[in-house]
């Protein structure tokens, strides 16, 4: 039940603006458990796969170019309702609509530079985790905090 996983990624603008610590710190402080993390610059083919559902959209080429322009920090976070709560923590896709207190609401302005990605369903989380991580990169560990985060 508390083992739901979501894929969270800090985009190149988030990395270059020095926001890795701020963003991953929010997931850490919330009580989610880090399962995997990697820092890499991805190629266009990989990013086209990641955003495959958006390939017909006019902003797709620009999106992929921006995502390939620098390294990203890719992570898997685990916990109760990790996907849904992760999306709430990110805020609306367009920072103009993201509530203050959310990552996008607090830290960015424009939709094309919205600093972070989060899976939108358990199904897409599983697909994205598979795309970005090998099975052996997902760390199996028990946090000593678990008994304080869950009743
Ligand atoms: P989300 O990242 O909130 O899941 P999405 O999957 O609909 O949003 O789109 C993926 C990313 O594409 C989004 O984070 C930013 C970019 N994007 C979405 N709509 C856009 C638009 N109208 N113009 C430019 N970029 C856009
Ligand atoms: Mg999406």
Report the atom number in ligand 1 closest to the C-alpha of 117: 2
Residues labelled catalytic: 117
How far is the centre of ligand 2, averaged over its atoms, from the C-alpha of 151 (Å)?
Answer: 32
Residues within a 6 A CB radius of ligand 1: 54, 59, 63, 93, 111-112, 114, 117, 120
pLDDT at 141: 96
H or E segment and range at residue 27: helix 20-30
pLDDT at 99: 98
Query: What string of pLDDT tens digits covers the 151 residues of the chain?
Result: 689 999 999 999 999 999 999 999 999 999 999 999 999 999 999 999 999 999 999 999 999 999 999 999 999 999 999 999 999 999 999 999 999 999 999 999 999 999 999 999 999 999 999 999 999 999 999 999 999 999 9
- Pick left, alpha or beta for residue 110 (phi over 0 → left; psi -120 to 50 → alpha; otherwise beta): beta
How would DSSP label each residue in 106-142?
Answer: HH---GGG--EEE-SSHHHHHHHHHHH--GGGS----
- The residues placing their C-beta within 5 Å of ligand 2, an ion, are 120
pTM greater than 0.75 (yes/no): yes
């Amino acid at each position: 039940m508390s083992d739901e996983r979501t894929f969270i990624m800090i985009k190149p603008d988030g990395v270059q603006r020095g926001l890795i610590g701020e963003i991953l710190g929010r997931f850490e402080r919330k009580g989610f458990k880090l399962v995997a993390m990697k820092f890499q610059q991805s190629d266009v083919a990989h990013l086209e796969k990641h955003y495959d559902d958006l390939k017909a959209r006019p902003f797709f080429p620009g999106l992929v170019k921006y995502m390939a322009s620098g390294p990203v920090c890719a992570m898997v976070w685990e916990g109760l309702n990790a996907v849904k709560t992760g999306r709430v923590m990110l805020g609306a896709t367009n920072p103009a609509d993201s509530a203050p207190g959310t990552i996008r609401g607090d830290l960015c302005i424009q939709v094309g530079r919205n600093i972070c990605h989060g899976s939108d369903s358990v199904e897409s989380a599983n697909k994205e985790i598979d795309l970005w991580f090998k099975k052996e990169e997902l760390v199996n560990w028990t946090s000593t905090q678990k008994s304080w985060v869950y009743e």
